[in-house]
């Protein structure tokens, strides 16, 4: 007979500013098999975790909780981290200030920290209040440019059956004209490559079009660039995983975010997947056309 120690059960505490997507995240985790409970009072959480968890648990906490305090959440995470039977992690969702203002305007809701003032006042107070939690989070996700579909894809990579067991890698293309993406661990500039934009027949296409790929491949620097970036990542990824990092986000940018960065993102995703890595990808500028608010 073998004496096997039971594997710790996953517990995800989901927090972040109002409007950043916590409700959507809780629903996604529930779809992934978590027992999901939103807006539970802090004083009741020890009772929920009294004894072994029968399945993964996701708990949503924000400033609307009746007894919410940042110190209370910090103390809670410290207590959970001390338990050998629970693998507790804090998922912090955030979004840019202008994005949160827009989301409040679209939903016509009042901010819980500024019920009789413009939403921007509550958004700024909440950002200051939650900064200590943001700094403690194991998982930090900026949802500013995300649709509910994008958020679901990220959380599935991180907390789904495969994502829970493997090191997750997110690749995304973006336009430098629209600003660099927040939360990425490293970025690569693709603007040195031959630009399909200047070919009128390719201008309206994207890096997903084979003709665009063929055009970029005529640049003799492409193959070496992809090979060297692939080699660099294959060297770094095991080291990051050994250091306890569970996810790495990598951006590839070009001028418009439609051609070169999209194509290179696709090539790197394929190269890493062929080496057995769990990879997700998104194309930020292409996704903007199908954006919808995150509750």
Is residue 4 in a domain?
A: no
Does the annotation flag 65 for ligand binding? yes
Do 43 and 67 belong to one domain? yes
Identify the band that residue 6 occupies on the pLDDT scale cut at 50, 70 and 90: low
Does the annotation flag 20 for ligand binding? yes
What is the mean predicted confidence (pLDDT) over 251-264?
Answer: 96
Do 129 and 174 belong to one domain? no
Q: How far is CA 164 from the centre of its chain?
A: 14
Do 178 and 261 belong to one domain? yes
What is the mean predicted confidence (pLDDT) over 222-244?
Answer: 92
Is residue 126 in a domain?
A: yes
- The dihedral built from the CA positions of residue 152, 155, 157 and 162, taken in this order, carries a sign that is negative
The Cα–Cα gap between 196 and 253 comes to 14
The fraction of the chain above a pLDDT of 90, given in percent, is 43
The Cα–Cα gap between 227 and 58 comes to 40
Is residue 1 in a domain?
A: no
The Cα–Cα gap between 8 and 103 comes to 37
Alpha helices, H only, 82-183: 97-107, 119-136, 148-159, 161-165
Among residues 99, 131, 159, which one ends one of the domains?
A: 159
Model confidence at 81: pLDDT above 70: yes
What is the mean predicted confidence (pLDDT) over 55-81?
Answer: 88
The Cα–Cα gap between 141 and 97 comes to 14
Model confidence at 84: pLDDT above 80: yes
What CATH number corresponds to the domain at position 140?
3.40.50.300
Model confidence at 193: pLDDT above 90: yes
Do 132 and 229 belong to one domain? no
Task: Name residues whose C-beta falls within 8 Å of residue 235's C-beta, 6 or more positions apart in sequence.
Answer: none
Among residues 112, 140, 159, which one ends one of the domains?
A: 159
pLDDT digits (tens, 9 = 90+) for 108-147: 778 888 888 888 998 999 999 999 999 888 888 999 888 8
Question: Does 85 or 188 have the greater pLDDT score?
Answer: 188
What is the mean predicted confidence (pLDDT) over 166-176?
Answer: 85
Is residue 206 in a domain?
A: yes
Lowest mean pLDDT among 10-19, 86-95, 242-251, 258-267: 242-251
Does the annotation flag 16 for ligand binding? yes
Model confidence at 55: pLDDT above 70: yes
Question: Helices 22-31 and 148-159 sit at what angle, rounded to 10 degrees?
Answer: 50
Identify the band that residue 66 occupies on the pLDDT scale cut at 50, 70 and 90: confident
Identify the band that residue 5 occupies on the pLDDT scale cut at 50, 70 and 90: low
C-beta separation of 257 from 179 below 8 A: no
Do 155 and 172 belong to one domain? no
Model pTM greater than 0.85? no
Does the annotation flag 21 for ligand binding? yes
Do 138 and 198 belong to one domain? no
**Domain count within the chain:** 2
What pLDDT is recorded for position 159? 83
Model confidence at 288: pLDDT above 70: no
Nearest CA to 26 out of 63, 54, 56, 51 is that of 56
Do 113 and 187 belong to one domain? no
What pLDDT is recorded for position 51? 77
Do 190 and 251 belong to one domain? yes
| Residue 246, Cβ density class (10 Å: 0-12 exposed, 13-18 middle, ≥19 buried) | middle
Does the annotation flag 175 for ligand binding? no
Is residue 3 in a domain?
A: no
Does the annotation flag 63 for ligand binding? yes
Is residue 53 in a domain?
A: yes
Question: Does 32 or 26 have the greater pLDDT score?
Answer: 26
What pLDDT is recorded for position 175? 95
Does the annotation flag 64 for ligand binding? yes
The CA-based dihedral angle spanning residues 268, 276, 235, 174, taken in that order and rounded to the nearest 10 degrees: 30
Do 89 and 112 belong to one domain? yes
Model confidence at 148: pLDDT above 90: no
Among residues 159, 179, 199, which one ends one of the domains?
A: 159
Q: What is the mean pLDDT of the chain?
A: 87
Do 20 and 60 belong to one domain? yes
Instruction: Kindly state the tokens that stand for 169.
Output: 């890698």
The Cα–Cα gap between 197 and 210 comes to 14
Does the annotation flag 19 for ligand binding? yes
Long-range CB contacts (within 8 A, 24+) of 175-180: 175/253, 175/254, 175/255, 175/256, 175/257, 175/258, 175/261, 175/284, 175/285, 176/253, 176/254, 176/255, 176/257, 177/255, 177/256, 177/257, 178/257, 178/284, 178/285, 180/251, 180/253
CA distance from start to end of the chain: 50
Do 145 and 245 belong to one domain? no
Long-range CB contacts (within 8 A, 24+) of 113-120: 113/63
The fraction of the chain above a pLDDT of 70, given in percent, is 92
Does the annotation flag 261 for ligand binding? no
Does the annotation flag 211 for ligand binding? no
Is residue 256 in a domain?
A: yes
Please give the residue range of the domain that contains residue 276: 168-291
Does the annotation flag 160 for ligand binding? no
Do 199 and 252 belong to one domain? yes
Is residue 270 in a domain?
A: yes
């Amino acid at each position: 007979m073998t004496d096997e120690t039971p594997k710790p059960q996953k517990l995800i505490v989901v927090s972040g500013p109002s409007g950043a997507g916590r409700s959507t995240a809780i629903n996604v985790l529930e779809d992934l098999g978590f027992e999901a409970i939103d807006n539970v009072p802090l004083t009741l959480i020890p009772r929920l975790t009294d004894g072994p968890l029968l399945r993964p648990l996701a708990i949503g906490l924000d400033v609307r909780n009746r007894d919410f305090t940042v110190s209370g959440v910090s103390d809670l995470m410290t207590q959970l981290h001390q338990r050998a039977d629970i693998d507790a992690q804090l998922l912090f969702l955030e979004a840019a200030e202008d994005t949160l203002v827009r989301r409040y305007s679209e939903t016509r809701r009042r901010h819980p920290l500024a019920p009789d003032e413009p939403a921007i006042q509550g958004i700024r107070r909440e950002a200051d209040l939650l900064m200590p939690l943001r700094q403690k989070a194991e998982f930090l996700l900026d949802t500013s440019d995300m649709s509910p579909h994008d958020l679901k894809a990220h959380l599935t990579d991180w907390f789904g059956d495969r994502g829970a067991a493997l090191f997750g890698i997110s690749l995304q293309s973006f336009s430098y004209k629209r600003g660099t993406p927040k939360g990425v661990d490293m970025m690569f500039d693709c603007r040195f490559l031959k630009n399909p934009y200047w070919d009128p027949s390719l201008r309206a296409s994207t890096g997903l079009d084979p003709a665009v790929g063929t055009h970029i491949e005529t640049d003799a620097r492409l193959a070496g660039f992809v090979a060297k970036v692939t080699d660099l990542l294959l060297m770094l990824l095991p080291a990051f995983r050994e250091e306890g990092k569970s996810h790495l986000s990598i951006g590839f940018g070009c001028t418009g975010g439609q051609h070169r960065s999209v194509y290179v993102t696709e090539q790197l995703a394929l190269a890493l997947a062929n080496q057995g890595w769990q990879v997700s990808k998104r194309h930020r500028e292409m996704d903007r056309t199908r954006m919808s608010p995150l509750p």
